[in-house]
Amino acid sequence: MSESSTREKVLWILSKAGGRPVSGSQLAGEMGLSRNAIWKAVKSLQDQGYEIQSLKGRGYVLRSSGNILSKALIDNRIRELSRENSVPAPRLIVLDSVDSTNTYCKSLDHPEIPAVVAAEEQTAGRGRRGRSFSSPAGSGLYFSFAFKPEFPLEDAMKVTAVSAAVTHQVLTEMTGKEIGIKWVNDLYIGRNMERRKITGILTEAVAGLEEGGIERILIGTGINCFPWALPPELEGIAGSLWEEGEDHPGFTRNELLARLIVSMNREFTGKNSLDSDRWVDYYRSHCFVIGRKVLVETAGRPSYEAEVLDVDDNFQLVVRVLDGTEKGRRIYVSSGQVSLRPL
């Protein structure tokens, strides 16, 4: 067993103990290693930042996994949750740093998907319309879920919106926070004009030249979990799930990521059709731009002010134009972006 595998197995056993001491001899016996090898593994984990306490005569206790992404903890939690849902677990890759998790996913061989690539930081994270996505180490979740779609192209066009709804459900269930969906792919925390962006989703399709269809879909997700030093251009715009001064967040990045992966895998992998009917009602009920005045920006035409009337069954934004020669016209917006106007 390699040193890395030994550390991961020790970490998993201590995590499963739920705060109870596990003796060095028990760890050694279960793993078929010497107690000295166990001691070295524990010391290495402590050096990485894991809070593992040694209790004389009783053993080791994992007090906290800290703010560290652990492949062992995430992978095993995914497998547990996947068994509960009878869904095969996807392959998981956890990196310290990467330019972009979506870019990395594009390099994976076809047999390696479905797969998830997560990273502590992205050095060139991307959002929609070519914008950069700030992805500093230790403050968020940055991951991409890659899968081969079995459903038709018209369903593939709905993946971004369904991803936003799935992510919203997991985040609200785990945190209890008031989170809203901003059409089409962003999640915001707070109310009215005090809302701050906490999540962005970038969906990309990779064409299969031989098959003449979509070889894989990549769902890149960035979630701001904890506060960080904001660059000037994001002040007043970006927020985080947990803010300074609040009680303990009540969630770990490892558990949050595991639940998001299992939820996405359940919705998108191995399905002949996307269950969008179930999600469109959920999406509408949490989309805070409905009923609001917005500025609509789409390719090929000047921006215009409009009132948002609804989100249709294809996740298009239904708006009524408020100015110009098209005033009063109803338009179905399938791409672009909207920004809220003052109340």
Would you state the pLDDT for residue 207?
82
pLDDT in tens, 131-159: 555 566 778 899 999 999 999 989 999 99
Do the beta carbons of residue 91 and residue 230 sit within 8 Å?
Answer: no
3-class secondary structure for 38-63? HHHHHHHHHHHCCEEEEECCCEEEEE
141 lies in the same domain as 261:
yes
Instruction: Report the b/e string of 8-43 with b at 16+ CB within 10 A.
Output: bbbbbbbbeeeeebbebeebbeebebeeebbebbbe
- Residue 250's pLDDT is 64
Are both 112 and 238 inside the same structural domain? yes
Range of the domain at 313: 293-340
Looking at residue 14, its pLDDT comes to 86
**The CATH number of the domain where 308 resides is what?**
2.30.30
Predicted pLDDT at 330 = 97
User: If we measure between CA atoms, which residue out of 164, 57, 147 comes closest to residue 111?
Assistant: 147
How many domains, in total, are found in the chain? 3
Same domain for 142 and 266, yes or no, is yes
Q: 102-132: string of b/e by CB count within 10 Å (b at 16+)?
A: bbbbeebeeeebbbbbbbbbbeebbbbeeee
Q: What is the pLDDT of residue 67?
A: 65
The CATH number linked to 121 is 3.30.930.10
Residue 220 shares a structural domain with residue 332 = no
Residue 319: in which H helix or E strand, if any? strand 317-321
Coil, strand or helix at 332 = strand
Is 83 in a helix, a strand, or coil? helix
> Residue 79's CB: how many other CB atoms inside 10 A?
15
Q: How far apart are CA 178 and CA 5, in angstroms?
A: 39
Report the CATH number that the domain containing residue 45 is assigned in CATH.
1.10.10.10
pLDDT on residue 229: 56
Element counts in the chain: helices (H) and strands (E): 9, 14
Q: What is the chain's Cα-based Rg?
A: 22
Q: Which residues contact 170 (CB under 8 A, 6 or more apart)?
A: 256, 259, 260, 263
Spans in the chain with pLDDT lower than 50: none
State whether 330 and 281 are in the same domain: no
Domain end call among 64, 97, 114: 64
- Domain match, 131 and 202 both: yes
329 and 241, same structural domain?
no
Contact 280, 313 (CB under 8 A): yes
Do 217 and 322 sit in the same domain of this protein?
A: no
